[in-house]
Homo-oligomer: A and B are copies of this chain.
């Protein structure tokens, strides 16, 4: 999407919202990944919640049109009719996610929408939100095997060799889904003992393993500790082989993180461990 030759004209993409604009940006960005050979400049304008801010926005749309010599594309989640009316003075392609879908939803649910600004992330006084913050705190204090305490509260416990992706995945699970995710490294001492720590084995039903291709692990570890035994391909091969053997031995579900994004790994874990999203 961005590797187009630089002699092509560039188009400006605006993500406009009365809230954070993160929803507009996420959906807009994933739509745009479907187009190649176009040069795009992306601008997010959040918190457009007054006529003054809408007028400022309008000016920026007009400026971009002049600068690019082409009208901008706007992805919007603006709800308020007056603010939308102001923006409609600009010559743009406006894709408003709310306008487009609210009408069929109203018809289907037989209920009028409340047209309330900024409800996407909900109120921070809900249990939902508290649960999410609690999950983040839990996950941070149960990162990298720092403690065996309180593992009975975990929704899932990730295991795997050092640097296979446990920490970012745990944090994403907590942040996105409100899930309490502890994580424990499998270390050479475990392999020598040929035994997974007892503190983990007793939570077997909550364990989920991550593994990784030794070549990729070697690459990741080398960035941290170049030329160490820890990072050597030989050692990476040994650790990965032993960790996989151990997971098989304890009948632990696992996946290979080598070619997957944090989102994909986390979604697979939610599915496999049959976890419900606990917060939005």
* A contacts, CB < 8 Å to B: 11, 19-23, 25-27, 29-38, 42, 44, 46-47, 73, 77, 79, 93, 95, 97-98, 100-102, 104-106, 108-109, 111, 113-116, 119-122, 124, 129, 133, 136-137, 140, 143, 167-168, 171-172, 175-176, 259-264, 266-268, 271, 277, 280
Contacts and interface: CB of A to CB of B under 8 A. Distances in A.
A73 B22 contact: no
For the complex formed by this chain, how many copies does it contain in all? Answer: 2
A113 B172 CA distance: 30
A22 B113 contact: no
Contact of A26 (B23, B31, B266): B23
A34 B114 contact: yes
B22 A121 contact: no
A108 B23 contact: no
Contact of A261 (B36, B42, B122, B260): B122
Contacts of A29: 120, 280
A204 B175 CA distance: 29
Contacts of A121: 261-264
